[in-house]
Amino acid sequence: MDLKLQGKRALICGGSSGLGRAVATALAAEGVHVVLLSRDGAALAEAAEALNAMGPGRAGFVTADLGDHAGLLKAVDQAEMLLGGSVEILLNNTGGPPPSGVAGLEPALWRDHFESMVLSIFRLTDRVLPAMRAASWGRILNVASITVVEPSAALGVSNTLRASVAAWAKTLAGEVGPDGVTVNTLLPGRIDTPRIARLDQATAERTGVTPQQARAESVKSIPVGRIGAPEEFGATAAFLASPLAAYITGSLIRLDGGAIRAI
């Protein structure tokens, strides 16, 4: 299927690995020009080189820390120079905090994660929205988690902050929908990324099993009987970024193999 994305311009946060790289790969395969953003310059360079070798879209990269908002906005300026125009597709994708509950956490911890996981998304989006609205076309995609729907006892900070992003996105969708800009939030479950590997390791250490056993146990709760592939996530994001998905906005899109049983 031709997603009609040839020549579009995208900024991909967390684009050096995991879900961000999967989305960048899917978009580049459709002819989108992408700029990858993360803190790891070496990983970004490797990812961009791989995307350029694959084609047909072009790939570049900029380094930035999502917690450094002044530096982040400068990185968007650099990205638009590399793209040769304004950002038309934005993937808001932040790292997740370590496993924890919520009771008794220091205010500084909440503040730091809010800056990098929530406020960075708000500021990035506000930076690129004016050009999208002026062009009557834009796509804002946010990566959250299925814990927005069903909170995990082991991921208290993530539960809280991802849910705030989902509520913001739903509100924003109503504000910018008349301008041709869609806003959707993807809710990944267990997809085979370094983040999931780290969570499996944490579970193993907590319960006294191996990471492989922790992973195998988690699969039992997934109706399709396996962990998802990053390519499946990337394909879904690419469709939502396309003109073909113009009537989908304000939505939470689950990619969890049926693990969440709520309707």
Checking if the pLDDT of 9 tops 90, the result is yes
pTM score, whole prediction = 0.95
Percent of all residues in the chain with a pLDDT value above 90, rounded to a whole number: 87
Residues 6+ apart with CB under 8 A from 50: none
Average pLDDT of the chain, as a whole number: 95
- Please tell me the predicted confidence (pLDDT) of residue 51: 97
* Whether 170 contacts 251, CB under 8 Å: no
Over residues 86-114, the mean pLDDT reads 95
DSSP for 29-40, written as a single string: HTT-EEEEEES-
Is residue 145 predicted with pLDDT exceeding 90? yes
Query: Residue 214: its pLDDT value, please?
Result: 86
In this model, does residue 55 exceed pLDDT 90?
no
Least confident segment among 203-207, 208-212, 237-241: 203-207
| Nearest CA-CA partner of 254 in 195, 190, 199, 189 | 189
pLDDT of the residue at 216: 87
79 confidence band (pLDDT: 50, 70, 90): very high
Quickly state the pLDDT bin for 195 (edges 50, 70, 90).
confident
pLDDT of 166 strictly over 90: yes
Average pLDDT over residues 163-176: 98
